[in-house]
């Protein structure tokens, strides 16, 4: 999924109110930290402008795509507490969790001023996320029941499909 910031037009963290992103993340106990422009992002699995994750810190730069920030934040939300302890760079997780992460980042985008579910899905598609039905919107609408059920099972979304604002139990 690693693309160059010069070639892919997606929504970047600098385009959002950092206070709004921090407010959204703080509900889950995550701290947002901006690093200097062009500095390496510690804890980034993919490198370049991709978000980093260390303990409960989400590290980004102004050019970090919002989808990357929310994706890593959703890994934090979706992992169990034993994986959160000592977390550094590789969020890990299995196939079902990865699908849950993608689903949740789409849901949370709606709660972030300057983003929406449709913008998140467009950015995910532009970046190269891959879904069986060809695009994230088709996956989310027609092929993501397993992801929603996984999130419900772990108490991350409720029966109506809304975020519970809680970490995986």
Domain membership of residue 126 (yes or no) is yes
The DSSP secondary-structure symbol of 4 reads -
88: how many CB neighbours lie within 10 A of its CB? 12
> For the whole model, what pTM was predicted?
0.92
The domain of 39 spans 13-153
Percent of the chain with pLDDT over 90: 82
Strand partners, 48: none
Domain membership of residue 5 (yes or no) is no
Structural domains counted in the chain: 1
Percent of the chain with pLDDT over 70: 96
Domain membership of residue 91 (yes or no) is yes
Domain membership of residue 167 (yes or no) is no
Extract long-range pairs of 32-39: CB within 8 Å, 24+ residues apart: 32/58, 32/60, 32/69, 33/57, 33/58, 33/59, 33/60, 34/59, 34/60, 34/61, 34/62, 35/59, 35/60, 35/61, 36/61, 37/61, 37/62, 37/63
pLDDT of residue 7: 63
- Residue-wise pLDDT tens digits, 89-119: 988 889 899 999 999 999 999 999 999 999 9
Decide if 161 contacts 148 (C-beta within 8 A). Answer: yes
74: how many CB neighbours lie within 10 A of its CB? 25
Mean pLDDT of the chain: 93
């Amino acid at each position: 999924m690693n693309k160059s910031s010069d070639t892919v037009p997606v929504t970047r963290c600098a385009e959002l109110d950092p206070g709004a992103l921090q407010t959204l993340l703080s509900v889950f106990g995550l701290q947002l930290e901006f690093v200097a422009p062009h500095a390496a992002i510690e804890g980034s699995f993919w490198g370049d402008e991709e978000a980093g994750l260390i303990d409960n810190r989400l590290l980004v730069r102004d050019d970090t795509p919002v989808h990357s920030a929310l994706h890593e934040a959703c890994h934090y939300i979706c992992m169990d507490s034993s994986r959160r302890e000592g977390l550094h760079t590789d969020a890990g997780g299995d196939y079902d969790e990865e699908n849950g992460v993608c689903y949740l980042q789409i849901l949370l985008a709606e709660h972030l001023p300057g983003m929406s579910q449709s913008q998140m899905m467009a950015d995910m598609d532009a970046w190269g996320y891959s879904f069986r039905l060809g695009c994230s919107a088709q996956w989310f609408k027609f092929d993501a029941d397993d992801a929603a059920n996984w999130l419900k099972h772990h108490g991350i979304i409720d029966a109506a499909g809304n975020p519970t604002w809680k970490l995986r139990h």
